[in-house]
Structure 1
C-alpha cells in the first residue's frame, strides 16, 4: 500500500484475514481508507506514553503499536460494513420498469450478509485487543451509527420529520452517522497506548470536528461548484438547506418547495438551488465548516510537532477548500 506522510502504512496481520476485504476501500487509483489513515497518523503523532509500563517502545513499528494498527483496520471494517448495509434498496418503491424484483431481493440479501460478515470480523478483532474501554468505545460508536442511519432513513422517507431540525440538531445527528466512529476510534488509539485523559479528549475532539467539517464540505459541493441554471441534485437535509430553512422560516420554505414542483409533482432542483443561493444558507454553512476545521487544528496542537502532526493539520485545513 502507499505510504503516508511520516508513516508507513503496511498490511496489518491480526488473526482474522483482511486482505480480500480491502477491495471495498481501494478503487485501483486512490486509497479510500481515510479513517484508518487518520487513526494511524494520530497514533504516530502521539507516540508512546510515559505512563505506560507494559508497552515497550521496541514493540512499535514506525512509531505505532500493533494494537493501534489493528484498531485502524477495525475502524475501516466497521465503516465499510455500514456502507454495504446502506446499499439496501427499498423494494416498496420498486417498479417493473426498474428491472426484475427477484434480482433486487437477492442483492438486498447479499448486502445484509456481506455487511454482517464484515461487522462480525471487526467485532472479533475488537475483542482480541483485550481492552475493555476500547471495546466500550467502539461498541458505542456502532450504536451511534445505527441511530444516525435510522434517522437519515426516516428523514428521507418522511420529509415532514426533518422540518423541526435546526442547525444544532443537524450537527448532533450528523455526528452520530458520520463522526462518532472516527472520534471514538481516535480516542481508543490513545487508550491503547495508555495516554492520559487529556490526550484522549484532544484526539476525540480532532476526530469529531474533522468529521463534521468533512460532512459540511461534502454538503456544500453542489452549491459552490454548480452554476445557476445547471441541473444539480442535492439532499434536502444538506447543511446549506438546513441553514436556509432556519433563516427564512418553515412557511416561506414550504412556499419555495411548492413553487419548485413541476406538473408531475417532482422537485425542480435548479429552482431550489437558486433559492438557497439567494440567502445566507451557503455562506453560513461555509463559516461553520471553517469553525470545525479550526477546532480540529486546535485539538491537534496538544501533540508534539512531527511530520504526522503536520499531515493531520493539512487534512484538517483541506476541508475548508472547495
Structure 2
C-alpha cells in the first residue's frame, strides 16, 4: 500500500495548485460535459432526475418555503447557499440517479409481476421509491446543516433564528416523507438499512472537537498505537457499522474516511445495497453494490475537498488539511488556532507547502479505482457504462 501511495505521489510530483478562480470557458465546458453525461444516464434508466429535485420533493410546500426564505435575503444565512446548491448547482449527479443506475446494471434476479416493475426500463417501482428516498434523506441532511449557532447580540439575530427554524422544519418534512415512503414498501430489512444510514449521518455531526460551526479534527495520535481495527477500516472489508469511533479518531486519514462514510458514504452505499435486496440479489451482490456506492461517495468528496481548497474554501476536516496533518502532526495547534481566528491564508500556505494536495489527488484516484473495481462485479451493459462515464467526468 505504501508503494502504491509513493508511486502515486511521484506521478503527481508536477501537480500544482491551479488558480482558485477558473475561467468561464472552462466552467461552461465542464458543466456541458457533466450535463450531457447526466442526461444520457437519465435516458438509460428512463427517469428524469427533475423528479428527484427539491422542487418536486417538497411539492406544494416549496412555494411557502420560498416565501419564508425571502426574509433571509441579505443575512448571509447558510440555508440560502444550501438551497441554491441543491436547486441549481450540485457538484455531483443526483444520488437517486446512481441508485437507479446500479439497479439497472444489476438486473432482476427473480420473476416480478408487471405491476411491480417498469418493463421498458427494467427497474422495479420499489427501486424508484428507494432512489427518491435516498435523495430526500440526503437533501434533508444538507438542509439541516444550514442550522447555525446564533448569539442574541448578533446583527439580525431574530432573522437568523427564523432561518434556523425553516432549515429544521424543511429538513424534518423531507425525513418524515422519506419514512412514509419507506413504510409503504413493506420491507422491514430495507427500513433497517436506510434507518442505519440516517443514524450514521446523525452520528457524524458529533465527531468534531470544538465549536459545531467550525468542525475541528481530533489531535493526531502516534501511528504506532493504531489498532488492527483502525488499519482494516479503510480496506475493502465490508462493515456496515456501527463503528468503533474511539479507535479511529486521531488518525487523520482514517478519521477523514470515518467522517465522510458516516456523513454520506453509507447513505449512498446502503441505498445501493437496498436496491439490490428488493430485486432478489444475494449477499455478495449487495456487498459489491454497497462498496461501490461508499467508495464512489468518498472519491467525489475528495474531489470536492480538493476543488474547494483551490477556491479558498477550507476547513479543518477537509482532505488536504487532514492529510497534511498525517505527515506533519506538529501543525495541529497551528491549524486549530487558524480555524478559530478564521485565518484561512495561513492554512492554505501550510498545506501548499506540504504534500496535502498531492495526497488528496491520490486519495481521490484510489477510491475512484475501488469504485470501478466493485462495478466490475456486474455484467457490462449500458448502465455500467453510463456509471463509468459519470465517474470519469465528475
Residue 101 of structure 2 contacts residue 384 of structure 2 at CA under 8 Å; is this kept in 1? Answer: yes
Aligned mate of 2:273, from 160, 170, 187? 187
Q: Distance in 1 between matches of 2:176 and 2:209?
A: 23
Q: 1:249 maps to which residue?
A: 329
* TM-superposed deviation, 1:311: 1.2
Does the residue aligned with 1:20 lie in a helix, a strand or coil? coil
Any idea what the Cα deviations from partners look like across 1:202-242, whole Å, max 9, x if unmatched?
1101100000011111111144x45xxxxx23111111111
* 1:20 and 2:75 aligned: no
Q: Distance in 2 between matches of 1:153 and 1:122?
A: 31
* 1:108 and 2:164 aligned: yes
Alpha carbons of structure 1 residues 12 and 156: separation in structure 2 relative to 1, 3 Å: closer
Q: Distance in 1 between matches of 2:370 and 2:282?
A: 20
Alignment of 1:112-131 (within 5 A): 112-131=168-187
Residue 308 of structure 2 contacts residue 314 of structure 2 at CA under 8 Å; is this kept in 1? Answer: yes
Q: 2:146 maps to which residue?
A: 87
Q: Distance in 2 between matches of 1:188 and 1:134?
A: 6
TM-score between the two structures when normalised by the length of structure 2:
0.68
* TM-superposed deviation, 1:315: 2.5
* TM-superposed deviation, 1:180: 0.9
Does the residue aligned with 2:44 lie in a helix, a strand or coil? coil
Q: 1:72 maps to which residue?
A: 131
Q: Is 135-144 or 301-310 further displaced after alignment?
A: 301-310
Q: 1:139 maps to which residue?
A: 195
Any idea what the Cα deviations from partners look like across 1:135-178, whole Å, max 9, x if unmatched?
11001000001001232585655766522332112211210002
Q: Distance in 2 between matches of 1:60 and 1:9?
A: 11
Q: 1:240 maps to which residue?
A: 320
Instruction: Flag the structure with more relative contact order, 1 or 2, with Cα contacts below 8 A and sequence separation at least 6.
Output: 2
Q: Distance in 1 between matches of 2:258 and 2:217?
A: 15
Alpha carbons of structure 1 residues 123 and 95: separation in structure 2 relative to 1, 3 Å: same
Q: Distance in 2 between matches of 1:233 and 1:134?
A: 37
Alignment of 1:22-41 (within 5 A): 27=87, 34-41=94-101
Alpha carbons of structure 1 residues 137 and 276: separation in structure 2 relative to 1, 3 Å: same
Alpha carbons of structure 1 residues 6 and 233: separation in structure 2 relative to 1, 3 Å: closer
Residue 257 of structure 1 contacts residue 272 of structure 1 at CA under 8 Å; is this kept in 2? Answer: no
* TM-superposed deviation, 1:31: 10
Q: Distance in 2 between matches of 1:318 and 1:114?
A: 32
For structure 1, list consecutive stretches of 5 or more residues without a partner in the other structure.
227-231
Residue 33 of structure 1 contacts residue 76 of structure 1 at CA under 8 Å; is this kept in 2? Answer: no
Q: 1:293 maps to which residue?
A: 368
TM-score between the two structures when normalised by the length of structure 1:
0.82
Q: 1:45 maps to which residue?
A: 105
Residue 48 of structure 1 contacts residue 57 of structure 1 at CA under 8 Å; is this kept in 2? Answer: no
* TM-superposed deviation, 1:71: 0.7
Aligned alpha-carbon RMSD (Å): 3.1
Any idea what the Cα deviations from partners look like across 1:239-281, whole Å, max 9, x if unmatched?
111111121123x4435766x69xxx83432232121111111
Q: 1:217 maps to which residue?
A: 303
Count of residues paired in the alignment: 300
